[in-house]
């Protein structure tokens, strides 16, 4: 008999006709395995994604809220020529006579105040005490704690810490790293399920309008996920750069591939300080004397700012004072909006000469890409449009989580306990995948699990729990 046909059996007394049944080899497909992984990841990781999405959406609107809440210290009605920067610093010193001075942010535009930043003992957490000075009159308008390069004030800082760590310190940061680690897996897996679904690409848009129940929920889930997939991948990639464990691996990878962000040489004892081929310096380094304990070592704040502007640093800047007797002023542009302006210059405090310059145009491409990605994640690269997009993305993630749980709920048994959980995707899905591909997938999972430790550990936990449940089911 030909291969693939079942043997013929003797006719039954009723003389049933003989039938030839062709054995169809089992179809190899990744879809059942993807479906099971997506199901477990969605059910167990979705709460973390929900918290990250809600807090991230709140953070997206805080720049606008901050301008309203802190308008009295951020803006001034005074118009006219600004006082020398050193005079503005002296006015701020009267408010904080004892704290070490660390940096100054001159008023970036007319009607804005100057920030004079002091170390209040929180430098390790990137926090400073900022005194706000009217650049025209020299009057101080208040003081607040500011955070990081973004200069976030207390409201935005509180929301940022909620998004980052739930205000639980380093332990709380594990939640956001877990969410970021799984976000790309969930997004890519969902996208693959969407595009491999039978005729789904053509019909689900109509299902959103014309159906009800689980089919409609699944259509909404798939459509929204497809639309925001690129955004989810971007959030995952940039979010991991802030993480504790995966972030260390990201930094090591960038260093190994020379993707790091260049920095100006701020130590005058370095052999190439003032002699770098792109430094545009005006002379060799001088002896600045002892800069410790002095608010404006050497030439002072205004002269350092003026020197940097001659090198083209004309955007909003932060000027850091020399931290040692052989250190320079470091003037850095802090404009994170498009086009990004983040050039930096080192200024000799004794001579007022620029001894090193690093320009954004000279960054390696991957360093530029990292800068742009982080700024998009922070909502600063494209201003209000960027913030609105992040708000929409956060709300879309909420829709995804809610619709995903609703689909699970609608899978519950219709008889018996009305509060029974929905049925999980069947076990043994891995048997449908190509054997060679499974080996490759296992190797990839090990590599990714090492690079993203929380992803690897949680995936291992999924497998252990699944095997335990399977063993229990067999025992019953």
Q: Which of 97-111, 189-203, 204-218, 293-307 has the lowest mean pLDDT?
A: 204-218
Residue 266 sits in the same domain as residue 401: no
Cα–Cα distance between 36 and 216 in angstroms, integer? 21
Provide CB contacts within 8 A for 79, sequence distance 6+.
Answer: 110, 111, 136
Residue 55 sits in the same domain as residue 75: no
pLDDT at 132 exceeding the cut of 60:
yes
Residue 80 sits in the same domain as residue 195: no
Residue that finishes a domain, picked among 152, 178, 203: 152
Give the CATH number, domain containing residue 109: 3.10.450
Residue 339 sits in the same domain as residue 391: no
Q: Taking the mean position of all CA atoms in its chain, how far away is CA 300? A: 37
Cα–Cα distance between 371 and 338 in angstroms, integer? 11
Give the pLDDT score at 324: 92
Residue 354 sits in the same domain as residue 400: no
Cα–Cα distance between 246 and 451 in angstroms, integer? 6
Residue 55 sits in the same domain as residue 170: yes
447 within some domain: yes
The helix (H) or strand (E) run that includes residue 177 is helix 169-196
Q: pLDDT digit string (tens) for 181-225?
A: 999 999 999 999 888 876 555 555 555 655 667 888 988 999 999
Would you list the DSSP string of 332-359?
A: EE-B-SSSPB--EEEE-TTT--EEEEE-
| Total domains, the chain | 3
> Helix (H, G, I), strand (E, B), or coil: what is residue 280?
coil
Residue 289 sits in the same domain as residue 347: yes
Residue 38 sits in the same domain as residue 187: yes
Residue 54 sits in the same domain as residue 171: yes
For the entire predicted model, the pTM comes to 0.84
Cα of first residue to Cα of last residue in the chain, in angstroms, is 42
Q: pLDDT digit string (tens) for 397-433?
A: 999 999 999 988 887 765 555 555 555 666 666 677 7
Cα–Cα distance between 455 and 341 in angstroms, integer? 35
8 within some domain: no
Range of the domain at 441: 31-59+166-255+380-413+436-475
pLDDT at 338 exceeding the cut of 60:
yes
* CA nearest neighbour of 191 among 219, 221, 214, 225: 225
Q: pLDDT digit string (tens) for 2-34?
A: 333 333 444 445 554 555 555 555 566 788 888
Cα–Cα distance between 43 and 433 in angstroms, integer? 23
Give the pLDDT score at 98: 95
Average pLDDT estimate for 370-385:
97
Cα–Cα distance between 182 and 446 in angstroms, integer? 15
Residue 306 sits in the same domain as residue 449: no
1 within some domain: no
Identify the residue whose tokens are 């089911």: 473
Q: How confident is the model at residue 473 (pLDDT cuts 50, 70, 90)?
A: confident
88 within some domain: yes
324 within some domain: yes
Cα–Cα distance between 301 and 89 in angstroms, integer? 8
Cα–Cα distance between 167 and 286 in angstroms, integer? 46
Would you list the DSSP string of 218-271?
A: HHHHHHHHHHHHHHHHHHHHHHGGG-SHHHHHHHHHHHHTT-PPP----BTTST
309 within some domain: yes
Residue 389 sits in the same domain as residue 470: yes
């Amino acid at each position: 008999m030909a291969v693939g046909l079942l043997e013929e059996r003797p006719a039954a007394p009723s003389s049933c006709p003989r039938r030839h049944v062709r054995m169809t080899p089992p179809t190899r497909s990744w879809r059942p395995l993807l479906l099971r992984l997506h199901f477990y990841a969605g059910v167990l990781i979705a709460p973390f994604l929900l918290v990250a999405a809600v807090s991230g959406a709140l953070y997206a609107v805080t720049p606008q809220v901050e301008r309203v809440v802190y308008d009295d210290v951020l803006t001034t009605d005074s118009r006219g020529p600004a006082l020398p920067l050193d005079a503005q610093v002296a006015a701020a010193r009267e408010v904080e006579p004892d704290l070490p001075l660390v940096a100054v942010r001159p008023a970036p535009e007319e009607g804005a105040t100057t920030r004079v930043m002091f170390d209040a003992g929180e430098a390790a957490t990137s926090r400073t005490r900022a005194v706000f000075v009217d650049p025209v009159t020299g009057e101080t308008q208040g003081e607040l704690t500011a955070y990081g390069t973004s200069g976030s004030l207390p409201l935005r800082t509180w929301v940022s810490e909620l998004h980052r760590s739930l205000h639980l310190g380093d332990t709380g940061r594990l939640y956001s790293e877990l969410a970021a680690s799984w976000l790309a897996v969930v997004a890519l897996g969902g996208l693959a399920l969407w595009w491999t679904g039978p005729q789904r690409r053509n019909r689900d848009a109509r299902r959103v309008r014309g159906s009800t129940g689980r089919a409609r929920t699944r259509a909404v889930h798939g459509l929204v996920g497809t639309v925001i997939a690129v955004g989810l991948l971007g959030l995952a990639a940039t979010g991991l750069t802030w993480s504790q464990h995966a972030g260390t691996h990201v930094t090591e990878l960038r260093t190994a591939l020379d993707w790091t962000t260049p920095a100006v040489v701020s130590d005058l004892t370095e052999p190439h300080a003032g002699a770098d081929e792109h430094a545009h310096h005006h002379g060799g380094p001088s002896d600045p004397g002892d800069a410790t304990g002095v608010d404006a070592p050497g030439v002072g704040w205004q002269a350092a700012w003026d020197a940097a502007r001659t090198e083209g640093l004309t955007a909003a800047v932060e000027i850091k004072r020399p931290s040692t007797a052989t250190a320079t002023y470091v003037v850095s542009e802090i404009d994170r909006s498009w086009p990004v302006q983040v050039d930096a210059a080192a200024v000799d405090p004794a001579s007022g000469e620029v001894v090193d310059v690093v320009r954004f145009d000279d960054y390696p491409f991957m360093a530029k890409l990292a800068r742009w990605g982080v700024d998009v994640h922070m909502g600063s690269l494209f201003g209000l449009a960027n913030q609105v997009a992040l708000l929409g993305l956060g709300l879309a993630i909420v829709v995804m989580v809610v619709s995903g749980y609703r689909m699970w709920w609608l899978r519950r048994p219709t008889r018996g306990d009305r509060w029974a959980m929905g049925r999980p995707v069947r076990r043994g899905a891995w048997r449908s995948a190509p054997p060679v591909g499974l080996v490759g997938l296992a190797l990839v999972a090990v590599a990714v699990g090492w690079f993203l430790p929380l992803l690897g550990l949680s995936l291992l936990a999924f497998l252990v729990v699944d095997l335990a449940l399977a063993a229990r089911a067999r025992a019953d």
